[in-house]
Structure 1
Amino acid sequence: MRILTVALLLFATLANAEPRTLRFSVVDSWAMPLARIENGRLTGGILFELFTATAQKVGLQPEFRILPRARVDQAQLKRSIDLRCYVAPAWTDRQFPEYRWSVPLLVQRDLLVSKTSMPGDLERLPKQTIGTVLGYHYPRLQPLLESGQLARDDARNQELVLRKLQAGRYRYAISNQFALDWFNHDLPDSQRLRGVEVVEETALACQVLDAPDLPTESILDALATLKDSGEIERILANYR
């Protein structure tokens, strides 16, 4: 009788437990077209579609955890997120042995951007301020900052950087191609911002928690399938 009681209590506990979700980190300063964040919730954008498609492929409900950029590392250390995406090894200061890297999923092209089509050469710019995103690391820009040739003017996200450039706060900014295309989409050609030089190209992937209660291998396979099938490229095409 005692064994039956214990078994029933265990069954009741399992029955009442919330189903396992697939927990994605979402940086609160991401902007369109990467992510639309409304009232503290991820509701759209490239990464919303990628996350949703990944969760569907492994049969789990996606859960989006909105975090300040500085707290994503801490979330990984606590294993409170399952996937950290839109990241590259060069962008992380720590090693996370409990997480496995996916295949590269897309490439981010960072551009030197101006209001005109004037030629651009980052290393030859005269001393000035340049528009950047708060918390972003730009390896090619770093020696120019350290020498004092250039100074950063940080904004909270990429859209704000481009708006400040458009308003004439500085002559140049650094923007990824996705954000620039989105910003220019509905503008007449005369008002569009111009990419004048490729600063860097970075292959981006996801880090996936390797845990007993998570189908890690299936998640990695799902991400690879989304890439190989062309689904990620189709998602990106919706935002160009």
Structure 2
Amino acid sequence: MKILVYAISLMCAAWLTKARSETFKVGFYNYPPMMIESGRTGIYQELLDELGKITGHRFQIEYFPYARLAKRFDLGQVDVEPGVFPGWVKQQKVPGVFSVPFGKVIDILVFGPGKHFKVNTPNDLTGRTIGLVRGYSYPELRELFDSGAVHRSDAVSETQLMAMLAAGRMDQILINKAVAQYSILQTPKYSEFVVGDVLGSYDVSIRVHPSKKALLPKLDEAILIMKRSGAITRIYGKYGVSL
């Protein structure tokens, strides 16, 4: 029944829209299973494919290293970035404007073999070095990083972060739970890792450059159509991720 409702919603959206179709530049970075550069697949790719069908707009996707993506957004060279929590970017030059939330990002600690310890609050990490992806912001840890109580060691991507943990170059990393679970399933040697405690849970939206804020009403409407029909849940589920 939900699939039928979704199909009808797609047809209605196509009939009702009168705005001219536009092309929006989307910034991606390799972030499996959310964005998978090899094969141009992943959760966010499929999400934008469906949003394109509903809105009539075209989303032109290009992959960048994360730090470069942030700079391009500031410069207006990227119009759209999916999967962003407003608190992560509020200190950037151009924070952007945001759609209604469409999903969640849950950040967890992952430990190397024999390195696990219980973390009830961020203060339990005092004196430790945490592996993170360069350019990522963690509101819960900002004060600890700024004071030097907790040290960060940056990798260029989640893939490199997991590889560094496997090589013993780090004892613990902070990573998206869905990314960690997907990586462990894809790489058998990662099965020795210990999945630890949750350090943050965020409702994520689509970040839009202020120069393209006219996109938001149709984008919000399309996201709500997909949520009501169960389409977003189905897309996540294809990659073994639950919302």
Report the TM-score, using the length of structure 1 for normalisation.
0.76
**1:39-118 to 2 correspondence within 5 Å?**
43-72=40-69, 75-76=72-73, 79-92=76-89, 93-94=91-92, 100-116=97-113, 118=116
Q: Structure 1 residue aligned with 2:117, among 98, 115, 119? A: 119
- 1:230 maps to which residue? 230
- Change in Cα spacing, 1:214 to 1:142, as seen in structure 2 (3 Å) is closer
Q: 1:130 touches 1:172 (CA, 8 Å); kept in 2?
A: yes
Secondary structure of 1:35's aligned partner:
coil
d(CA) in 2 for partners of 1:100, 1:203: 15
| Structure that is richer in helix per residue | 2
- Change in Cα spacing, 1:190 to 1:32, as seen in structure 2 (3 Å) is closer
Structure 1 unaligned regions, length at least 5: 1-18
Q: 2:65 touches 2:156 (CA, 8 Å); kept in 1?
A: no
Correspondence 1:155 to 2:155 = yes
Residues 123-132 or 82-91, more deviating: 123-132
Residues 199-208 or 140-149, more deviating: 140-149
**1:202-213 to 2 correspondence within 5 Å?**
202-208=202-208
Residues 60-69 or 162-171, more deviating: 60-69
Secondary structure of 2:24's aligned partner:
strand
- 2:27 maps to which residue? 26
Q: 2:67 touches 2:134 (CA, 8 Å); kept in 1?
A: no
Aligned-residue offset at 1:75: 4.6
Structure 2 unaligned regions, length at least 5: 1-19
Report the TM-score, using the length of structure 2 for normalisation.
0.75
Residues 188-197 or 225-234, more deviating: 188-197
- Change in Cα spacing, 1:58 to 1:170, as seen in structure 2 (3 Å) is same
- Change in Cα spacing, 1:195 to 1:216, as seen in structure 2 (3 Å) is same
Instruction: In structure 2, give the amino acid aligned to 1:85.
Output: P
Q: 2:87 touches 2:139 (CA, 8 Å); kept in 1?
A: no
- Change in Cα spacing, 1:78 to 1:160, as seen in structure 2 (3 Å) is closer
Instruction: In structure 2, give the amino acid aligned to 1:119.
Output: F
d(CA) in 2 for partners of 1:115, 1:144: 22
Aligned-residue offset at 1:126: 5.6
Secondary structure of 1:135's aligned partner:
coil
d(CA) in 1 for partners of 2:228, 2:93: 27
Aligned-residue offset at 1:147: 3.3
Instruction: In structure 2, give the amino acid aligned to 1:200.
Output: G
The structure having more radius of gyration, on CA atoms, is: 1
Deviation sequence 1:170-189 (CA, Å, 0-9, x none): 11110111111111114559
- Change in Cα spacing, 1:209 to 1:55, as seen in structure 2 (3 Å) is farther
Runs of 4 or more, structure 1, over 6 Å off, are 210-214
- 1:198 maps to which residue? 198
| Structure that is richer in strand per residue | 1
- Change in Cα spacing, 1:103 to 1:62, as seen in structure 2 (3 Å) is same
Q: Percent identical across equivalent pairs? A: 24
Q: 1:91 touches 1:137 (CA, 8 Å); kept in 2?
A: yes
Aligned-residue offset at 1:65: 3.3
Q: 2:131 touches 2:173 (CA, 8 Å); kept in 1?
A: yes
Q: Report how many aligned residue pairs link the two structures.
A: 217
Q: 1:159 touches 1:179 (CA, 8 Å); kept in 2?
A: no
Aligned-residue offset at 1:214: 6.2
Q: 1:25 touches 1:83 (CA, 8 Å); kept in 2?
A: yes
